[in-house]
Chain A
Amino acid sequence: MNLALDIFTVAAVSTGALFFLAGTVGLIRFPDSLTRLHALTKVDNLGLGLVVLGLLPQADGLFAALKLVSIWLLVQLSGAIVTQLIAGAVRQHGRRG
């Protein structure tokens, strides 16, 4: 049982790390601000979500697990809103690079 949980953790965290890698490549390679934002939000949602999901079986009790989930939710919230604000600023002031 423990081994299965450990394998699950390694698999989920690795997949999450893969998303972070893909998002970073997108941030560097994509041509303009809006597509770069698109790459970043995918990382926030899926990458961090998978890392948190993978760490849940290793969490020290229910409260630690809840803390992990709330970190994910808070990052989701801030990520989504900051993306909206930056995209709004790009639309208003024109695209620069």
Chain B
Amino acid sequence: MSILSFFDGGLVILILSIGASTIVVREAFAAVIAFVVYGLLLAVAWVRLSAIDVALTEAAIGGGMTGMLLLGAAARLRLAESTGARTGLPTRFAIAVLCGLITAGLAAAILFPPEVVPTLAPTAMENLPQTGLGNPVAGVLFVYRALDTLLEKVVLLLALLGVWSLAPDRVWGGIPGLRVYAQPNSTLTFLAQLLPPLGIMVGIYMCWVGAKDPGGAFQGGTILAAMWLLAIIAGLERAPSISQPWLRGLLVVGPMIFLVIGLAGFAWADAFLAYPPGYAKPLIVAVEAALTLSIGAALGMLAAGPPERVRQP
């Protein structure tokens, strides 16, 4: 018990100091690296709070995918930094005040909870057997709060549209400008040949096991996206142009199937996103499988960035 509280105390100190260092360091690159470490430490903290689903998502999205997106942003900002263009003092002051307010609000909510903490957890656990799912997190995501989950996937597509719309008109529909390290027979090529079979298996496993144990579409999809990006960066696979019909199909297949099953809920259970009794689990697994593909494609294309060149004829 006491050893564990020592561990927790050390973890809190580490998280706070690495969080502070992301703000204090002057170089964007160093800040992003610190942010990735911060995400991994946060994942360990979620494990200590017995929230394995959140820990997996934090490690995959917070540490890995966001880190990669920020590294890309930092590389683009390096040009702006070298010209000496810095954000003005009033802007930075406003950012500091707003961030401080949010932190204070969150701290107040955690440190001074109401007398009786409102919770729906007992009701959720009570009705979980009806869904046939073993993982209460999957139950909340796909049964009780299915609308939120659906919108969350649509938001991912909107984010991708935002990135794509940064492309100049002449390269619209072109190939994302992900940098390729085209050194044949390098160790990176070796890794990109060896790792994807394993990674794809783990990604599918994550999605499949999500109905019963921690895991799910987001975690599985991130791993698939990472394997795809690894193959592209190593030059084994070419980044597709964003006008490819198969790519666009892959991006929307998850939300589409979710939406179709949701609309069918009107016919078989008299409500949007309601599942017919006894068929909840197979339908949810089907939606999760399609979502895993869509999330993988969307995250991969997000990290690949806006299109920068058109395909050579």
Contact = CB atoms under 8 A, between A and B. Distances in A.
A77 B187 contact: no
A84 B194 contact: no
Nearest to A80: B187
Contacts of A84: 187
Interface residues of A, number: 8
A84 B191 CA distance: 11
Contacts of B194: 77
Interface in A59-97: 74, 77-78, 80-81, 84-85, 88
A85 B188 CA distance: 7
Nearest to B188: A85
B190 interface: yes
Interface in A39-76: 74
Contacts of A88: 186-187
Interface residues of B, number: 8
A85 B189 CA distance: 11
Contacts of B188: 81, 85
A85 B194 CA distance: 16
A77 to B, nearest CB: 7
Contacts of B198: 74
B187 A85 contact: yes
A74 B198 CA distance: 10
A78 B187 CA distance: 10
B195 interface: yes
Nearest to B187: A84
Interface string B42-57: 0000000000000000
Contacts of A77: 191, 194-195
A60 to B, nearest CB: 14
Contacts of A78: 191
Contacts of B187: 80-81, 84-85, 88
**Max chain A CB contacts within 10 Å: which of B186, B187, B194?**
B187
Contacts of B190: 81
Interface in B161-198: 186-188, 190-191, 194-195, 198
Contacts of A80: 187
B3 to A, nearest CB: 12
Nearest to B199: A74
16 contacts: A74-B198, A77-B191, A77-B194, A77-B195, A78-B191, A80-B187, A81-B187, A81-B188, A81-B190, A81-B191, A84-B187, A85-B186, A85-B187, A85-B188, A88-B186, A88-B187
10 closest pairs, A vs B, by CB? A84-B187, A81-B191, A81-B187, A85-B188, A85-B187, A81-B190, A77-B194, A81-B188, A77-B191, A77-B195
